[in-house]
Amino acid sequence: MLMAEACPDDLLALSVALTGYDRASLWATGCVPLYLAQLADVAGPDLLARLETAGREHAAAVGADPDAADRQLRQRVLVDPDLGPLARSLIQLWYLGQWTPMPPEWVQRNGSKLRDTARILSSRAYREGLVWDTIGAHPMGAKAPGFGSWALPPAGETP
Amino acid sequence: MSMESERDELRSLMAQAIRIELTTIPPYATAAYTICEVGQYDRIAPTEVNAEPLEVIRQVMIEEMLHMTLAANILNALGGSVILNQPSAIPSYPCRLLPSGKGPEVRLRRFSRDQVRVFREIERAPVNFDKLSNGDCLRAETIGGFYHCVREKLRALCRTHRPDQVFCGDPAWQVGAEHYWGAGGQAFAVTDEASALRAIDMIVDEGEGADLGGRAGDGDPVPGTGEEDVAHFFKFNEILLSRYYRADDHLGSPPTGADLAVDWSAVHPMRDDPRAEDFAHLPEVHARMLAFDQLYTGFLLALHEAFNGRPERLREAVPVMIKLRHEAMALVRIPVNDQGETAGPGWTFRPIYSTPERAS
């Protein structure tokens, strides 16, 4: 199996905080190694280490005071000119299976990266996007829900 | 024995038949869903990995679903009732395949040579039919031997009694092609001796090809291609030997068809016989496994209704089967320990379990 060079625990903790899905759900996509490798390729070792630290600290703080932990994550990561764009692309990656390239300001600060291109990372990444679960639908053209399923209310919908 | 007690015995044997067919499906499904599928290796280009063994197991599995349906039709034709809403009627794993306790131990394990050998053993033809005829069917040592014995009893009953005494069930309870489609062949109504024997023969032929003299072919065309399909015993042997059988190949000689590519390493390392209880220390995994069990339980309850006078409910079961597949494939990707073993579907019947909110 392809393994990310990145430390999965801390980056998974960060992903849990950013997506609102638990670890088991993120593993269940089958995309953890692929996504963390993509993140590592674009972030580079220094920024990746800062993201790991942010994930670790959030995981340690979230139990005692979730609101404070989330506030701290916004301040440390999402508004940071280097970490913010990476975190936002990571959110989109989990939800859509698609990498969104860094904005020009980020590239000016950190240089351009070979793998920082807009693309769906694999056919599995498309199928396993969290967005489908969030909206109670299935990825178009994949994971067909079966004949006649259109007669049933969407998952999570009360008729 | 009176007509009633003979018919009662046949009913209880058909209830056993349904249980045997149902017993095979979760292990087959589990092995199939632990196979790594598209997009596993290559970061960019999706690669087909193990698509062939996955398809072979899938074909066997959906034929087992047909067999279970045909067995239910026979039981209903005999005026019996199918029970799928009681924990005692639903297999839990590990278990023995046959009421005699003979045959392989059936477990929920990942796709591996050992597990496919067990599958092949499940579908193995009996060595000696004579030993079993007119005997105690519950002591049969293979599925084929069991059905052979049931077949003889059914024929004996039909020889001595009027058809309307034997086949006293409500024909409206029969599951026919209008309720069951696209999976492993066609379901048909059982209303008399001829259709009951045809159903039993189909189950046995597709399993082992036993009645066909050791020939690989099962007498049915593969949908779409029109070529003759091969029996389950041979299908599992195809995977072990990495080569397809032709219908005219025989038991005991190697297959002569095309190569069948199998990558035994491209498999999710699912822990053997996963059960939700074993993962209580991992609340997220535990909740997800219970959710799977609940989905499976709801599915069995829908089947129970479908086989008890509401055959149109089978339609609702189709999307649930597909959900079960996607959920099982998700579970086997979740690591549960430092050895890298993963969770998996437990296929546990939990009728009084209520939905918790998925932790997120």
Substitution target in B33, B35, B36, B40 with the highest count of A β-carbons within 10 Å is B40
Q: Has residue A91 been placed in a domain?
A: yes
ipTM of the complex, rounded to two decimals: 0.89
Give the integer Cα–Cα distance in Å for A132 and A144. Answer: 12
Give the number of beta-carbon pairs within 8 Å between A and B: 76
Selecting from A22, A121, A148 the residue whose C-beta is nearest the C-beta of B315 gives A148
Convert the pLDDT of each residue in B232-277 to its tens digit. Answer: 889 999 999 999 999 888 888 899 998 888 889 889 999 999 999 9
- Mean pLDDT, chain B, rounded, equals 87
Selecting from A20, A28, A122 the residue whose C-beta is nearest the C-beta of B330 gives A28
Q: What is the largest CA-CA distance in chain A?
A: 53
Convert the pLDDT of each residue in B65-100 to its tens digit. Answer: 999 999 999 999 999 999 999 999 999 999 999 988
Neighbours of A103 (CB within 10 A): 13
User: What is the domain class of B3-269 according to CATH?
Assistant: mainly alpha
Helix (H, G, I), strand (E, B) or coil at B96: strand
Please report residues of B whose CB lies closer than 8 A to that of A34.
43
Inter-chain residue contact A29 with B333, CB threshold 8 Å: yes
Helix (H, G, I), strand (E, B) or coil at B250: strand
Give the integer Cα–Cα distance in Å for A84 and A75. Answer: 9
> Would the pLDDT of A3 be above 60?
no
Take residue B56 and report the two structure tokens written for it: 């072979």
Q: Has residue A126 been placed in a domain?
A: yes
Contact at 8 Å (CB) between A159 and A66?
A: no
Neighbours of B288 (CB within 10 A): 25
Contact at 8 Å (CB) between B304 and B83?
A: yes
**Cβ contacts of residue B279 below 8 Å, gap of 6+?**
B285, B286, B289, B336, B343
More confident residue, A100 or B213: A100
Q: Has residue A3 been placed in a domain?
A: no
Please name every residue paired with B335 in a beta bridge, in sequence order, or none if there are none: B342
Convert the pLDDT of each residue in B57-68 to its tens digit. Answer: 998 999 999 999
Contact at 8 Å (CB) between B30 and B344?
A: yes
> Would the pLDDT of B211 be above 70?
no
Q: Has residue A56 been placed in a domain?
A: yes
Q: Has residue A1 been placed in a domain?
A: no
Distance from the B319 Cα atom to the nearest Cα atom in chain A, whole angstroms: 5
Inter-chain residue contact B323 with A125, CB threshold 8 Å: no
**Cβ contacts of residue B13 below 8 Å, gap of 6+?**
B137, B138, B150, B153
Q: Has residue A156 been placed in a domain?
A: no
pLDDT above 90 covers a percentage of chain A that reads 78
Residue the block writes with tokens 């591996």 = B112
pLDDT above 70 covers a percentage of chain B that reads 88
Instruction: Give the confidence band of B360 by pLDDT, cuts at 50, 70, 90.
Output: very low
Q: Has residue A84 been placed in a domain?
A: yes
Q: Which of A12-16, B19-23, B131-135 has the lowest mean pLDDT?
A: B131-135
**Cβ contacts of residue B46 below 8 Å, gap of 6+?**
A122, A123, A124, B38, B39
Domain coverage including residue A100 = 8-151
Q: What is the per-residue pLDDT for B184?
A: 67
Neighbours of B146 (CB within 10 A): 27
Inter-chain residue contact A124 with B315, CB threshold 8 Å: no
Q: What is the per-residue pLDDT for B106?
A: 96
> Would the pLDDT of A71 be above 60?
yes
Orientation of helix B113-122 relative to helix B232-241, angle to 10° = 160
Q: What is the per-residue pLDDT for B41?
A: 45
Helix (H, G, I), strand (E, B) or coil at B270: strand
More confident residue, B47 or A9: A9
End-to-end Cα spacing for chain A = 43
Instruction: Report how many domains make up chain A.
Output: 1
Q: What is the per-residue pLDDT for B216?
A: 83
Q: Has residue A158 been placed in a domain?
A: no
Q: Which of B45-49, B116-120, B200-204, B269-273 has the lowest mean pLDDT?
A: B45-49
Three-state SS letters, B147-199: HHHHHHHHHHHHHHCCHHHHCCCCHHHCCCCCCCCCCCCCCCCCCCHHHHHHH
**Closest residue, chain B, to A146 (C-alpha):** B319
Q: What is the per-residue pLDDT for B213?
A: 67
**Do you find a cis peptide bond into A159, omega within 30 degrees of 0?**
no
Domain spans, chain B: 3-269
Give the integer Cα–Cα distance in Å for B141 and B97. Answer: 9
Give the integer Cα–Cα distance in Å for B344 and B219. Answer: 36
User: Which one-letter DSSP state was computed for residue B286?
Assistant: H
Inter-chain residue contact A29 with B330, CB threshold 8 Å: yes
Q: Average of pLDDT values for B4-31?
A: 95
Give the integer Cα–Cα distance in Å for B256 and B239. Answer: 13
Give the integer Cα–Cα distance in Å for B19 and A99. Answer: 48
Inter-chain residue contact B322 with A27, CB threshold 8 Å: no
